[in-house]
């Protein structure tokens, strides 16, 4: 009852591999790689003044985005505090109204 039941063994014949053929290097010549045309666009050259302007602009962007995010966080905190104060006031009004 508890002995394992094994499936019957596979009786299919083993696949045969074809015999290797002689190596012919002429059959394996790679196709020529197409050459990309030369670009006629001007190259970008950064002078020290341009690099300094880019760094200054990036710093300004980071500061502005940081100020906006901090102000949004402050607005959420002030809103949460005012909602909490309103909840305490309304709760005290409701509790006072039930006692009278």
User: Does residue 58 lie in a domain region?
Assistant: no
User: Does residue 81 lie in a domain region?
Assistant: yes
User: Does residue 55 lie in a domain region?
Assistant: no
User: Does residue 10 lie in a domain region?
Assistant: no
| Domain boundaries, position 81 | 67-100
Q: What is the total count of domains within the chain?
A: 1
Q: How much of the chain exceeds pLDDT 90, in percent?
A: 42
pLDDT digits (tens, 9 = 90+) for 74-95: 999 999 999 999 999 999 999 8
User: Does residue 83 lie in a domain region?
Assistant: yes
Q: Tell me the pLDDT band of 53, cut-offs 50, 70 and 90.
A: very high
The pLDDT, as a whole number, for residue 41 is 79
Measured CA to CA, the distance from residue 55 to residue 46 in angstroms comes to 12
Q: Is the pLDDT of residue 100 over 70?
A: no
User: Does residue 79 lie in a domain region?
Assistant: yes
Helix intervals (H) in the chain: 48-99
Measured CA to CA, the distance from residue 96 to residue 58 in angstroms comes to 57
- List C-alpha distances in Å: 85 to 77, 80, 92: 12, 9, 11
The pLDDT, as a whole number, for residue 72 is 97
pTM for the predicted model, two decimal places? 0.47
Cβ contacts of 54 within 8 Å, gap of 6 or more: 46
Q: Within its chain, how far is the Cα of 60 from the centroid?
A: 25
């Amino acid at each position: 009852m508890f002995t394992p039941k094994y499936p019957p063994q596979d009786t299919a014949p083993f696949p045969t591999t074809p015999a290797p053929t002689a190596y012919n290097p002429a059959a394996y010549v790679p196709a020529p790689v197409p050459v990309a045309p030369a670009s006629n666009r001007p190259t970008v050259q950064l002078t020290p003044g341009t690099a300094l302007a880019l760094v200054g602009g990036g710093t300004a962007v980071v500061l502005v985005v940081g100020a906006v995010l901090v102000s949004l966080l402050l607005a959420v905190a002030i809103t949460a505090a005012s909602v909490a104060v309103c909840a305490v006031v309304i709760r005290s009004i409701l509790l006072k109204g039930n006692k009278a």
